[in-house]
């Protein structure tokens, strides 16, 4: 029997519990807003002075969170952003949503999780529930946060409660948001699962309790490894179709008519984003420490990572057909965000394609209605307007991200050569452009590997 548990459950039920969110990014800020919407007082903690200042002014730096919502909760005294870690001591519940990037050697970079853990534990008190949301390898919650709490003198499951709950935020998704996406919750102990589930049930429609933190950690990795492997499969099918002279889009659309046992994925120029290119490597890394090679993950990553090279080869072949070399050609890239209709550039395959083209001597410009400019290392690029002149003067136009805001008929009407890696020009009327598809359907010479 835990007095702390009963008191905490009562404070959650009455909305007297104070909730703190560590990390106010695309996961933490929407979550903070949902807790505030549910009537909790919310302390948003972030190391960025800039982010905290703009939020306290009632602004929002996250595409899916309206400034008006932030302003309303700030004005009502239900939300405050702070860089002062001591404020975490005022919280009954803490959700940690900090980045878990990969290092240069594709190993987990736990810098942010370790820093957040140290900060949270330094201000922890009996009666708190602490939940890690950052995508990470199975075992992180039990091997990193639990020992830190125990070392600070806490009996996890008795006076503090610890769980993992994977974030399932899909930026830009018009249907699924934090509140209506089922929330998996796995505790270090059954009492931890109970408390963390009650916390999230106060602001999220559906809770999915699981038996432990490792299960919850692995659920997330399965979800996104599933996508990486299936995207890798369709990317290989695109290469297969290219060699067979078959239209990969027609194959996939026809396969997708199967009403059971099939799920449509589409080939493309590679994979980007904060999840799919990274998450599977967390699992691969953990399994390497257990002397197991996750072959599916490694093969899918290899195929997906090879797609930018495949695209640049197609551009080179298409220019060659026009008796042009890549070296000295002007190439216009359409769409640089990592997927359509968003402004996020993280891990975008466009960055690889631009780099590879420039390495071969091409002069590369880009147009993206959602990305006016971007910086990659010491390389800064500013987008150009999509005009008939810009299209006509390009030796090749490469469609990398199929934003709905781009007028694809304009593109095929004015460009001379278009390499379409996303089937974006599907449905346009024939124009001036010679359009090369990702799988252009030109049979490879027999016997050529």
Question: Can you tell me the distance from the alpha carbon of 375 to that of 189, in angstroms, rounded to the nearest whole number?
Answer: 45
Provide the strand spans (E) within 121-165.
128-132, 160-164
| Residues 292 to 321 in contact with ligand SAJ, rule: CB under 6 A | none
| Residues 15 to 44 in contact with ligand SAJ, rule: CB under 6 A | none
Between residues 11 and 106, which has the closer beta carbon with respect to ligand SAJ? 106
Q: Token digits for 391? A: 């299209």
Q: Which of 158, 170, 250, 358 touches ligand SAJ by CB under 6 A?
A: 170
Asked whether position 268 contacts ligand SAJ by CB under 6 A, the answer is yes
Q: How many residues bind ligand SAJ (CB under 6 A)?
A: 19
Least distance in angstroms from the C-beta of 434 to ligand SAJ:
24
Evaluate whether 154 touches 126 at the Cβ level (below 8 Å).
yes
Least distance in angstroms from the C-beta of 90 to ligand SAJ:
29
Asked whether position 276 contacts ligand SAJ by CB under 6 A, the answer is yes
Between residues 170 and 250, which has the closer beta carbon with respect to ligand SAJ? 170
Q: If you ran DSSP here, which 8-state letter would residue 423 be given? A: -
Question: Can you tell me the distance from the alpha carbon of 162 to that of 164, in angstroms, rounded to the nearest whole number?
Answer: 7
Q: Which residues contact 88 (CB under 8 A, 6 or more apart)?
A: 20, 22, 43, 45, 94, 119, 120, 123, 124
**Other beta carbons within 10 Å of 360:** 17
Asked whether position 168 contacts ligand SAJ by CB under 6 A, the answer is yes
Residue with the shortest CB distance to ligand SAJ: 273
- Please state, in angstroms and as integers, the Cα–Cα distance from residue 9 to each residue in 18, 38, 41, 178, 369, following that order: 12, 15, 16, 22, 47
Between residues 78 and 367, which has the closer beta carbon with respect to ligand SAJ? 367
Asked whether position 341 contacts ligand SAJ by CB under 6 A, the answer is no
Least distance in angstroms from the C-beta of 254 to ligand SAJ:
16
Which strands form 183-187's sheet, in the order they lie side by side?
A: 79-82, 41-45, 18-22, 93-96, 128-132, 160-164, 183-187, 207-210
Between residues 167 and 420, which has the closer beta carbon with respect to ligand SAJ? 167
Task: Return the residue matching tokens 């999840």.
Answer: 275
Binding mask 230-259 for ligand SAJ (x = CB under 6 A): -x----------------------------
Q: If you ran DSSP here, which 8-state letter would residue 439 be given? A: T
Q: Which of 161, 200, 338, 366 touches ligand SAJ by CB under 6 A?
A: 338
Between residues 145 and 311, which has the closer beta carbon with respect to ligand SAJ? 311
Active-site pick, 203, 212, 241, 275: 275
- Please state, in angstroms and as integers, the Cα–Cα distance from residue 68 to each residue in 33, 53, 326, 444, following that order: 11, 15, 48, 56
Give yes or no: 275 in active site: yes
Between residues 169 and 406, which has the closer beta carbon with respect to ligand SAJ? 169
Evaluate whether 44 touches 79 at the Cβ level (below 8 Å).
yes
| Residues 171 to 230 in contact with ligand SAJ, rule: CB under 6 A | 173, 223-224, 227
Q: Which stretch binds ligand SAJ (CB under 6 A): 49-57, 109-117, 262-270, 309-317?
A: 262-270
Residues forming a β-bridge with 187: 163
Q: Token digits for 114? A: 């370790």
Q: Token digits for 205? A: 């429609």
Task: Return the residue matching tokens 């967390």.
Answer: 282
**Residues lying near ligand SAJ in the complex (CB under 6 A):** 167-170, 173, 223-224, 227, 231, 265-266, 268, 271-273, 275-276, 338-339
Mind telling me the catalytic residues? 275
């Amino acid at each position: 029997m835990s007095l702390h548990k009963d008191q905490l459950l009562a404070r959650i039920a009455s909305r007297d519990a104070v909730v703190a969110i560590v990390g106010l990014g695309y996961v933490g800020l929407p979550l903070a807003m949902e807790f505030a919407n549910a009537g909790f007082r919310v302390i948003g903690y972030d190391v960025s002075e800039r982010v905290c200042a703009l939020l306290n002014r009632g602004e929002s730096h996250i595409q899916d969170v309206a400034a008006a919502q932030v302003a309303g909760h700030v004005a009502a005294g239900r939300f405050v952003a702070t860089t002062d870690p001591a404020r975490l001591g005022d919280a009954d519940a803490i959700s940690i949503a900090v980045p878990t990037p990969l290092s240069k050697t594709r190993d987990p970079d736990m810098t942010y999780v370790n820093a957040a853990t140290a900060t949270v534990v330094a201000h922890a008190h009996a009666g708190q529930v602490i939940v890690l949301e950052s995508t990470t390898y199975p075992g992180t919650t039990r091997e990193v946060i639990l020992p830190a709490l125990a070392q600070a003198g806490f009996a996890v499951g008795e006076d503090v409660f610890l769980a993992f709950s994977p974030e399932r935020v899909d930026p830009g998704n018009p249907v699924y948001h934090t509140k209506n996406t089922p929330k998996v919750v796995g505790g270090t102990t059954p009492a931890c699962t109970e408390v963390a589930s009650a916390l999230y049930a106060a602001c999220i429609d559906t809770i999915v309790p699981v038996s432990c933190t490792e299960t919850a950690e692995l659920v997330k990795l399965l979800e996104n490894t599933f996508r990486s492997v299936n995207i890798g499969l369709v990317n290989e099918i695109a290469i297969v179709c290219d060699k067979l002279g078959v239209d990969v889009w027609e194959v996939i659309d026809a396969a997708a008519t199967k009403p059971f046992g099939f799920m449509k994925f589409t080939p493309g120029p590679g994979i980007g984003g904060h999840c799919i290119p990274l998450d599977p490597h967390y699992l691969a890394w953990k399994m390497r420490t257990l002397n197991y090679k996750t072959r599916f993950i490694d093969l899918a990553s290899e195929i997906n990572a090879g797609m930018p090279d495949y695209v640049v080869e197609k551009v080179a072949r298409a220019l060659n057909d026009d008796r042009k070399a890549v070296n000295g050609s002007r190439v216009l890239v359409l769409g640089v965000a990592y997927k359509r209709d968003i402004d996020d550039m993280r891990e975008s395959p466009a960055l690889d394609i631009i780099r590879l083209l420039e390495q071969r001597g091409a002069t590369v410009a880009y147009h993206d209605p959602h990305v006016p400019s971007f910086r990659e290392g010491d390389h800064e690029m500013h987008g150009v307007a999509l005009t008939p002149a810009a299209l006509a003067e390009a030796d090749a136009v490469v469609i990398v991200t199929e934003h709905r805001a781009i007028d694809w008929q304009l593109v095929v009407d004015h460009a001379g050569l278009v390499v379409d890696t996303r089937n974006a020009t599907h449905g346009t009327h024939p124009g001036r452009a010679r359009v090369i598809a990702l799988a252009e359907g030109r049979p490879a010479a027999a016997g050529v590997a």
